[in-house]
Structure 1
Amino acid sequence: MSDHPSTFGGGTTGKTGDNIAWNDRAALHRADDGDGIFDGAKALSRGTFADMIRHVMTLPEADRDTYVIEKAGDREYRAAEIAALAARPDFPAEDTQ
């Protein structure tokens, strides 16, 4: 599943811009790990996007800026954005897989 619209058969996925693909794959990284060609090997944890958000939200608030979530498609989410996503009414409270 991904956040971008489908062009299969000339149609769309029916999603709106506010829909989040909570089950996309994601990885937790240190914010200062430097990215680079070995970035994938530097992941501290992997799971769904929702799992990684839940994990970051269990950390003390003062430590959250230390980490970023890298979501499928090479998008990074930092602490403030992670907290905003966790507060959304459509955020899955627990693993639904």
Structure 2
Amino acid sequence: MSDIPSTIRAESAGPERFHWEDSAELHKCADGGGLFHNLKVIRRGSVSELVRFVMSLPEDEQDDYAIQKDGDRTFRIGEIRALSRRADFPATDA
């Protein structure tokens, strides 16, 4: 699923809900970013699970991680922290 709204007919459907259940991968930021960068997955899970995991780490270690949402984008620590503060952030996965 994608959080990007369609541009067909330039219709606005209002605020899109965030797809917390989408699959994602946790990457270590300092892993070099070389040819096999995408193979260096630390953990897989839903976006909400990985946000929760990163936020459970000591604050000085959180900067070392990024979440790659499948088919969408990469979230660095500033965005991960902002996601964890959203009103619609699930406390647990159902």
Gaps of at least 5 residues in structure 1 are none
Deviations 1:7-44 (A, max 9, x none): 8xx8x8x4624x21111111100112233443332000
* Equivalent residue, structure 2, for 1:16: 15
Deviations 1:21-79 (A, max 9, x none): 11111110011223344333200000011111010010001100011111112511111
* Equivalent residue, structure 2, for 1:92: 90
* Equivalent residue, structure 2, for 1:77: 75
Helix, strand or coil: the match of 1:5?
Answer: coil
Map 1:55-74 onto structure 2 (within 5 A).
Answer: 55-74=53-72
TM-score relative to the length of structure 2: 0.82
> C-alpha separation between the residues in 1 aligned to 2:14 and 2:34?
33
* Equivalent residue, structure 2, for 1:3: 3
Percent sequence identity is 46
Helix, strand or coil: the match of 2:44?
Answer: strand
* Equivalent residue, structure 2, for 1:38: 36
**1:5, 1:15 within 8 Å by CA — same for their partners in 2?**
no
